Amino acid sequence: MIICKRCIVRGKVQGVFYRATAQQQALKSGVSGYAKNIFDGSVEVMACGEPNAVEMFCAWLWQGPELAEVNIVECESLISESANGFLTL
């Protein structure tokens, strides 16, 4: 079973290698999807994969890279999409 979650990560998450680090973490976890900057300073993350892997990755979003200061992570479940790899947009 594959699940997908779309998350918005708010705080100091742009200009701190958040997307690149999320990509590394996702690929290590077997999660596909993307991470992209949003005009309001937040980062949008799509994560698809095995339920346990997606949940662990979404928990990691609260941590992020060393320079990040995550204040809020809002996630919603989506109908499974067939994504391969993990992109930074």
Domain ranges for the chain: 3-80
> Which pTM was predicted?
0.89
CA 19, 1, 75, 26: dihedral to nearest 10 degrees?
-20
Tokens describing residue 87: 């992109």
DSSP state of 74: E
Q: Which tops the pLDDT comparison, 43 or 86?
A: 43
What does the pLDDT read at residue 6?
96
Residue 19 annotated to the active site? yes
Which of 10, 19, 52, 84 is labelled catalytic?
Answer: 19
Which of 6, 10, 37, 71 is labelled catalytic?
Answer: 37
pLDDT for 89 beyond 70 = no
Mean of the pLDDT values across residues 48-61?
96
Collapse the DSSP code of 19 into the 3-class scheme (helix H, G, I; strand E, B; otherwise coil) and give the result: helix
What does the pLDDT read at residue 72?
98
pLDDT for 76 beyond 70 = yes
What does the pLDDT read at residue 81?
58
CATH of the domain spanning 3-80: 3.30.70.100
Residue 10 annotated to the active site? no
